[in-house]
Amino acid sequence: MNNLGCPYYLYVLILSILLVAAGCGGESTDGGSGWDFGEDETDCEEDQIYDPNTSSCVDDISSPQCDDDEIYDADIGECVPDGGDNDRVGPDDCEDDEVYDPDTEQCVDAPCGVVTITARTCKPDGDDLGEVALEIEGQGCDGPFSLSTTSGDDGELEIIDIPHGNYEITMTKGLFERQFELHVNALGIDTDVDLDELFCFAGDEVDIAVFEGAYDDAAGLLDSMDVAHDLIARTSSSSEMLTFLEDGEALNEYDLIIIECGVLWNSVLGGSSSGAEPGDAEVVIANLQDFVGSGNHLITADFAYRFFEMPFPEAASFGEDEDSSSPRGSVQSIMAEVVTDALSAFLGESTIGINYGEAAWYLPVDVGPDSVVHLKGGVETTDSEILDDMPLLVTHHDPSGGTATYQSFHSDSADDGESKLMMEFFLFHQ
């Protein structure tokens, strides 16, 4: 036996006691080893960092986590309310009616100023449209503001010195009216729409119904002009047209009704396929009178003349009675005289050529005092008779502002001449 001496056994005993004490000192903090050497980086929260000097996690004052309504002020090392001098923004954060002040690093109200708007007015298809009336009303930066102006003959529009502010614009021309809101600031007009389109009429701003006939193509002509419309289709039965004409409320949902050549009064009101009954004609007559008397507009062509004559017998007479029939035009071209100043100004001419490709078209023989003859000319009839100064285009004016028009010629979608010009006249210039 080795004699190591008493101190050796004493050391072994003390070390054993220390190891037992360490193993029983409580729950492990490092996965069960029994040794607790303090915290490390993995134990810290998002707003803490690990301090190796103290072997613990401490608050991260270099990047504090401020509340949503606070920002960090590095000068004092604290989170402060988000507002006042601490609400620092850039030029891109400013609203349309604000400017950036670099001294305060804030967006401030822009000084009241004026701008000049240069644009153009145009039709739904994008073609220039002159002499459009505009009303501008709203709140400018220095108070209420209103202005009435008109675009030039070529559609050019210049609105000078309109104050920064919010406005409602009303554009009117013929049957068309458009309203929209406009915000004006130091940069000009606040809009995503190109200025070449902003002051253009839309094709659906006039409610139009077309009764489909057999020879006209008013619907196709409107399509070529990007003007929307509802088509009352021609079918083997006339009952759909009769139902529509008997519904006064349905009629008055429209601003303009066009009845093409080939829609026959007797077929709709007396034909066996229409289902017409005694008294239906009186209902249709009253509804068309009310339609025009409510400020709306009716256009009838050639064979559809009775939808003009029956409701408005004082407007024009076509000379048909038990003893005689209306004179009928033959196939021909007529250089018509422009009678009214409005049509002459629109055309820029005193005459216009009209082609009649179908024979037996109807002619008014007498015009009432409340009607206006737009076009007249010499006509050769189907009986080879020459009639001078015959009305070719007639409009009856109701005191309400409504109109009923008879045109002796057809609308042709393939014709970019007189057909389109006449339609444009009734849509934009009458």
Instruction: Write down the mean pLDDT value for the chain.
Output: 84
Give pLDDT tens digits for 108-124: 877 888 989 899 999 99
Task: Kindly indicate the confidence band of residue 18, based on its pLDDT and cuts at 50, 70 and 90.
Answer: low
Residue 9 has pLDDT above 70, yes or no: no
Query: Distance between CA 398 and CA 405 in Å, rounded?
Result: 11
Q: So what's the pLDDT on residue 387?
A: 95
Quick one: DSSP state of residue 2? -
Q: So what's the pLDDT on residue 69?
A: 66
Query: Distance between CA 310 and CA 362 in Å, rounded?
Result: 15
User: Which helix (H) or strand (E) covers residue 267, if one does?
Assistant: helix 265-269
| Across 420-426, average pLDDT | 94
| Across 5-10, average pLDDT | 54
| Across 369-385, average pLDDT | 95
Task: Kindly indicate the confidence band of residue 1, based on its pLDDT and cuts at 50, 70 and 90.
Answer: very low
Give pLDDT tens digits for 171-214: 999 999 999 998 888 777 767 677 778 999 999 999 999 999 98
Task: Kindly indicate the confidence band of residue 55, based on its pLDDT and cuts at 50, 70 and 90.
Answer: confident
Higher pLDDT pick, 284 / 47: 284
Give pLDDT tens digits for 246-267: 999 999 999 999 999 988 888 7
Q: So what's the pLDDT on residue 378?
A: 97
Q: So what's the pLDDT on residue 234?
A: 75
Q: So what's the pLDDT on residue 87?
A: 55
Residue 29 has pLDDT above 70, yes or no: no
Quote the pTM value: 0.74
Q: So what's the pLDDT on residue 303?
A: 93
Higher pLDDT pick, 384 / 48: 384
CATH topology of domain 114-198: Immunoglobulin-like (2.60.40)
Higher pLDDT pick, 39 / 219: 219
Q: So what's the pLDDT on residue 20?
A: 46
Identify the sign of the CA torsion 236, 237, 240, 241: positive
Give pLDDT tens digits for 58-107: 776 665 667 766 776 666 667 776 654 445 577 778 876 677 888 888 88
Q: So what's the pLDDT on residue 199?
A: 94
| Across 142-170, average pLDDT | 94
Domain edges within the chain: 114-198, 208-429
The string of DSSP letters for 151-195 reads --TTSEEEEEEEESEEEEEEEEETTEEEEEEEEEETTEE--SS-H
Q: So what's the pLDDT on residue 63?
A: 56
Q: Which residue's structure tokens are 């200025």?
A: 195
Identify the sign of the CA torsion 343, 347, 350, 356: negative
Up-side HSE of residue 275: CA atoms within 13 Å toward CB?
10
Class for the domain spanning 208-429: alpha beta
